Structure 1
Amino acid sequence: MHKHLAFYGNKFHVMHYLLLILSWFIFYASHTVLASSKLKSFLKVKWGKAYKWYRLLYTMVSVLLFLVIVGQSLLIPAEIILSRGDLSSYFGYMLAAFGTIILMKSSKGYSIVRFLGLVPVKEEKEQLVTSGLYGKVRHPLYAGLILVFAGYFLFSGSITAAIHLACLLIYLPAGIYFEEQNLVEQFGESYKKYQSEVPAIIPRWK
């Protein structure tokens, strides 16, 4: 009886983990597709003036999918694969705090209201940012997310946290590739030069 319950319990957990992985896949895939310059160009023609609300739609889809992932994570019973101790918890909090600081500094100078699409914005020529953290790495936001997810795994030690981190690391190469294709299309040789001089995520320490 106990063996059967354990079997079904493990099967239940595996299904939850697979659904969590699938949800992350959908989240990252939608992020890449919705950020595609080709899709944006197509919708500009099709939607006309209504395209000014595209950023808001993009934000709503991302937030909805992220809330689904959060809900799934809360429903999965915590299964620990990394023993938690004072040292791992300390490093976990430190990494998460450092990652949060990087995220905040990377977003400095951006209008949150405009970024979320809460107000319609007229088409403006964007400038390539290469100063501050962007002078050290091309994708400081991704670097910050890696530190936050890694920190969460260290002080949580759960399979769920490990899946969050693994899905992010698996997605990043493809995510960065397609994002930079859009940036090369947008900024041309300026971005190619920037690519050759600045690393993607890990800074070069001199």
Structure 2
Amino acid sequence: MNYVLLGLSWAVFYSLHSFLAATKLKRILQGKLENAYKWYRLVYTLISIFLILGITIQALVIPKTILLSKSVFTDYLGYMLAGFGTIIVTKSSKNYSLKRFLGLAPLEVHEEALITTSLYSKIRHPLYAGLILIFLGYFLFAGTLSSAIHLGCLLLYLPVGIYFEEKNLVAQFGETYHKYKSATPPIIPRFR
């Protein structure tokens, strides 16, 4: 039952993540909140942090069920993948203002630009690629059922999350994003 609740917690998190990031909801709230809308991103971030902390606490109190026996190889591979994932997440975040991303500085409407350089020239969603590597590395290192649920829920959500995120990006950047999308793969780079 604990693991079902953990999976449901991730479902709530990912559903809220997509719902709160929807362009339509943002337009409605922008009309209703007017000047206060500039702090919407901060509220969004605080909700996300609260939910992630709840999921983390939930995962920590669940009795450990081992799925993958630990070895030097799984430990090394887990650390390596999580390390690469962390590097990718960090490098992909360098193009953004951390204050604006977290909502600590108000984001003015239409202030963002489409980033297509650095890691974004190889894949459209390096942040997601990094998260996959981090969660996979954690699973290989921990080998627990809860770490497998974390990874499984992320992998189930990503196609949905990418669909909605790209819908928002097309609405925001139009033909520019369509061209970028046709030239750049979503998560796995082309090696040629």
- Give the TM-score, by structure 2 length: 0.98
| Structure 1 unaligned blocks of 5 or more | 1-14
| Cα distance between partner residues in 1 of 2:79 and 2:185 | 26
Q: Which residue number in structure 2 is paired with residue 152 of structure 1?
A: 138
Q: Which residue number in structure 2 is paired with residue 142 of structure 1?
A: 128
Describe how 1:1-206 pairs up with structure 2 within 5 A: 15-206=1-192
Deviates more, 1:119-128 or 1:75-84: 119-128
Alpha-carbon shift at residue 119 of structure 1 (Å): 2.6
Larger radius of gyration between Structure 1 and Structure 2: 1
Tell me the C-alpha RMSD between the 2 structures.
Answer: 0.8
* Partner SS for 1:40: helix
Runs of 4+ in 1 over 3 A off after TM superposition: none
- Give the TM-score, by structure 1 length: 0.91
1:45-75, CA deviations, whole angstroms, 9 ceiling, x for partnerless residues? 0111110110011001100000000010000
Alpha-carbon shift at residue 78 of structure 1 (Å): 1.1
| Cα distance between partner residues in 2 of 1:122 and 1:167 | 33
Of all paired residues, the percent bearing the same amino acid is: 60
* Partner SS for 1:171: helix
* Partner SS for 2:92: helix
Matched AA of 2:181: Q
Q: How many residues align?
A: 192
| Cα distance between partner residues in 2 of 1:196 and 1:57 | 33
| Cα distance between partner residues in 2 of 1:106 and 1:133 | 6
| Cα distance between partner residues in 1 of 2:33 and 2:95 | 29
Alpha-carbon shift at residue 114 of structure 1 (Å): 1.4
| Structure 2 unaligned blocks of 5 or more | none
Alpha-carbon shift at residue 118 of structure 1 (Å): 1.4
Matched AA of 2:115: V
The answer to whether the Cα contact below 8 Å between 2:95 and 2:115 also exists between their aligned partners in 1 is no
